[in-house]
Homo-oligomer: A and B are copies of this chain.
Amino acid sequence: MVTFPEAKILEIDLTSGTVNMKTLPGEIYRLYPGGSALGLYLMMQDYIPGTAALDPGNVLVFSVSPLTGLPISGISRMNVTARSPLTGTAGDSQSGGFIASYLKMNGWDAVVFKGKAEKPVYLTIDGDQAQLKDASHLWGKVTGEVEAAIQEELGDKNIEVAQIGPAGENLVKYACIINKCSRANGRNGMGAVMGSKNLKAMVVKKGKPMAAADGEAFMTLSRSVRKLLEENEAVAGLGLNGTDGDLEGFSDEGFLPTRNWKTGHFPEGANNITGATMYDTVLKERDTCYACAVRCKRVVEIPGRVDPIYGGPEYETCAALGSYCGVTELADVCEANMLCNMYGLDTISCGATISFAMECFEEGLLKPEQAEGLELKFGNGAAVNALVKKIALREGLGDLLAEGSARAAEKIGGGAEKFSMSVKKQELPAHMPQYKPALGLVYAVNPFGADHQSSEHDVFLVMPPDSRERERLSKLGIWKGYDNPYELDSEKVRFALDSQKYFSVLDSLSLCQFVWGPSWELYGPDELLELCRAGLGWETSLYELMMAGERRINMMRQFNAREGFTAAEDTLPARLFEPFADGPAKGIHVNRDAFEAAKSLYYEMAGWDPKTGNPTEATLKKLSLDWLL
């Protein structure tokens, strides 16, 4: 059996300003391999139930996996865990970039932040040396300025900076953490948790590359990426047009969330803001994460308006700050994306909250005087971009919208709640449950609110059985195909649950789903096992890994249970149950009876109490989580 090395953890008590280095026995990896699972484990060791997300008692963990830093595609994810100020649940957020690899190259598996600094600080990590430094002079500055200033004062460009912008400082509920000025731990408001601790940034020095346990086998696996890249159209497309490559196609089918999800059809703007147009117009270059051959990351430039240091918009961003708001101009979307990356805002929740405000405005629930002169009508890109900044700075209407659409709706009243397209107060990503009902189920039951990266999407089940995609899903026991994606039968429920477990594995090994996803792109379950073997000497199985994935989900769910969450919070916005009034998908909607039945079935399949939706004692014991009882 593999002998895992000890896990090395940095513990930072921000209140006292002390830095502590501790180790955990390597066996910890077997149950909590890394990433989100390790982050949750560490967070829950210190977090006292009932602590508010923005209280100094909240525990914020950056964590990576034992695989992180090995030179292979799709291995660059940085996990951040804390109680979420947006959802109130266990918060979970992943980003790409280089900082995760750097952290592991310095020997660290995780950094745990507790307490609250008296004044703004940032942490530097250089090998065994970790230091808290004053950040008062950086407070209030946007990310590009801060990164440059830190490089300057450390006299070093071989560093990575994960930081908050003004939005995090101002405790915007969906403030994110930005690294490389362009990669975000976007969701769940982890940036606000940093802000609440007066922690401006974590800076990590580049370290020495990691060595694989079986160097030769590892190289073979790593090299196979290029071959696969050549063969795989989806990957090539992802590399070419980024994640935004499908936007126009979604609109054509009638499933691009548009004007706060009132429709799925956006003919007047979809072509303008789709990936191919971006490629043909504003794209400056394609960027990458550590060791990755995919190069899905966009860098756009609009001279005098959009600075390429802030990268470029993903699909989610083009939808949320584009079609959600009815914005038809790519330049507006690119600028909005830049502002979010400068100020540190999650583009999805930000765009969705603005589109919510636009609908409230159009419906007369937000008065012109509340909008402070902004003509908050769908399609007004300038108003969107003005609001982004106001939100980050909590100015005027921005202060209300900084709370997210759900909380804002409560304050606005008058039925505004029905315009908040959110689950557990987190706004929906741009994949429509009307089209992907299993994904919709996951939106509802996912422990940290609506998320599109926590499970596979239904459409893969519509592919032919001899496709690479379907073949890989069969390894998860998912073999039934569908003629159309709209069904939500019991096999689909298992698909939701099992693919969710697999994605949970990826998040627990800090891997990117575009490369290691079960059904598409580069590597599948077999290669994942080979990665563990060649990379770490860990001869595991898909069964053991899936159990680890299931363990992580249940840890979050049990966290939530202790905070009072129940089945009542596992809902979808009412709008999704209403038939589309127009577009190619006219008449299509989520069937409420099917959804409710699927939700109950999901609970039982997951081993959760049918009434509360919380893990049963037996389920926790099955997953060696007795310590959470």
Q: Which residue of B lies closest to A550 (CB)?
A: B477
Indicate whether A586 reaches chain B with its CB closer than 8 angstroms.
Answer: no
Indicate whether A465 reaches chain B with its CB closer than 8 angstroms.
Answer: yes
Q: Contact partner of A475 among B493, B539, B619, CB < 8 A?
A: B539
Q: Which residue of B lies closest to A603 (CB)?
A: B618
Q: Are A466 and B1 in contact (CB under 8 A)?
A: yes
Indicate whether A474 reaches chain B with its CB closer than 8 angstroms.
Answer: yes
Q: Are B618 and A547 in contact (CB under 8 A)?
A: no
Given known A605-B621, A621-B490, contact A475–B616 (CB-CB < 8 A): no
By DSSP majority rule, is chain A's interface helix, strand, loop, or mixed?
helix
Indicate whether A395 reaches chain B with its CB closer than 8 angstroms.
Answer: no
Contact residues in B for A542 (Cβ distance below 8 Å): 541-543
Q: Are A1 and B474 in contact (CB under 8 A)?
A: yes
Indicate whether A3 reaches chain B with its CB closer than 8 angstroms.
Answer: yes
Given known A1-B465, A477-B547, A604-B618, contact A626–B539 (CB-CB < 8 A): no
Q: Are A543 and B540 in contact (CB under 8 A)?
A: no
Per-residue B-contact encoding for A89-127, CB less than 8 Å = 1, 0 else: 000000000000000000000000000000000000000
Give the number of copies in the complex: 2
Contact residues in B for A539 (Cβ distance below 8 Å): 471, 474-475, 526
Q: Which residue of B lies closest to A618 (CB)?
A: B604
Per-residue B-contact encoding for A518-558, CB less than 8 Å = 1, 0 else: 00000001100000000000011111101100000000000
Q: How far is the CB of A114 from chain B (nearest CB, A)?
A: 30
Indicate whether A624 reaches chain B with its CB closer than 8 angstroms.
Answer: yes
Q: Are B624 and A605 in contact (CB under 8 A)?
A: no
Chain A positions within 8 Å of B, measured between CB atoms, are 1, 3, 27, 30, 465-467, 470-471, 474-477, 479-480, 490-491, 493-494, 498, 525-526, 539-544, 546-547, 601, 603-605, 607, 616-619, 621-622, 624, 626
Those 6 A-B pairs whose CB atoms lie nearest each other, nearest first: A604-B618, A475-B541, A490-B621, A1-B471, A477-B547, A542-B543
14 contacts between A and B (CB under 8 A): A1-B470, A1-B479, A3-B466, A474-B544, A475-B539, A476-B544, A477-B544, A494-B624, A525-B541, A543-B546, A604-B616, A604-B618, A604-B619, A605-B618
